[in-house]
Amino acid sequence: MRYAIDLGGTHVRVAAAQSGCEWRHQHSSRRTPGMTPADFIDLLARLSREWGTGQPQTIGVSAAAVVDDDGCLVASENLGWKDVPLRRLLSDAFSCKVLVETDVFCGAAYEASLGAAAGTQSAFYIGIGTGVGHALILNGQVWRGARRGANAFGHTVIDPAGERCYCGHRGCLCSTASGLAQADRPGEDFPLQHLAQAIGNAITLVEPELIILAGGALNQPWFDIVRLAELIPDFSYPAAFQPQLVRSEAADPNLCGALLLSMEQL
Ligand SMILES: [Zn+2]
């Protein structure tokens, strides 16, 4: 049995599949603030017992974090974890192969191979949950950046005079247009306009064929994809192609990507 895990700032989702993308077992729960890596391993062990699957064959983890080549969570403000060697911890606990990747890279890889971006050469994937992340798909492949850190769309600076972000800068996109910001102060600070501004800049820079939006915050009242599509051209270079803006059709593309990761197809 393969385990796919989406470890996000707000939720933990775990699914088990025998083969292919058909889930045999699924779990979703709110991530307890202060959840430690040991708590996370305890949760997986409990699910394994409840599901009666025995030891998983492989585990793929999509994590809301910057992840290094060895599956170590180098930084994750949304999890409150830093330098956690998650791949090694899970591998020791479950005696199986474990692969760990940044959540938006998992989601984008799913979209590029089986989702909305299948068959396209370029797409920009934006995950809006607790925070805001992105991944660029170029020539059908996910671009991870020079040091695996090209995922932090939420820290695009929108207003240098804005409030201090937890990253240290002022006026980051995630200070207004994120699930966390809108849960704290719903409707304030023009989140849709800020999102349009950041996407417009991305279009000017990359001119992708398609923009895919995913994540739980798209269900919050402030989000309106029709209005967003109307606003974006005001912030992008007029001669650049205006890509189609779509919502992911997958309930959780990051989780689907984690399964691809467990199958070493990412
Ligand atoms: Zn920031």
Token output for 3: 């385990």
Q: How far is the CA of 166 from the centre of ligand 1 (A)?
A: 6
Closest to 141 measured CA to CA, from 188, 184, 108: 108
Same domain for 74 and 6: yes
Task: Give the HSE-up count for residue 151: Cα atoms under 13 Å, Cβ half-sphere.
Answer: 24
The one-character DSSP state at 157 is B
| Residue 96 pLDDT exceeds 80 | yes
Same domain for 128 and 95: no
Decide which of 187 and 95 is more confident.
95
Q: How far is the CA of 172 from the centre of ligand 1 (A)?
A: 5
CB 96 within 8 A of CB 59: yes
Coil, strand, or helix at residue 140?
A: coil
Q: Any alpha helices (H) in the chain, and if so which ranges?
A: 37-51, 86-94, 103-113, 179-184, 191-206, 225-231, 253-262
Q: How far is the CA of 113 from the centre of ligand 1 (A)?
A: 30
Q: How far is the CA of 245 from the centre of ligand 1 (A)?
A: 24
Q: How far is the CA of 134 from the centre of ligand 1 (A)?
A: 14
Show the domain range for 170.
118-247
Q: How far is the CA of 200 from the centre of ligand 1 (A)?
A: 18
pTM: 0.94
pLDDT at 14: 97
| Residue 162 pLDDT exceeds 70 | yes
Same domain for 153 and 183: yes
Decide which of 264 and 127 is more confident.
127
- Structurally, how many domains does the chain consist of? 2
Q: How far is the CA of 121 from the centre of ligand 1 (A)?
A: 29
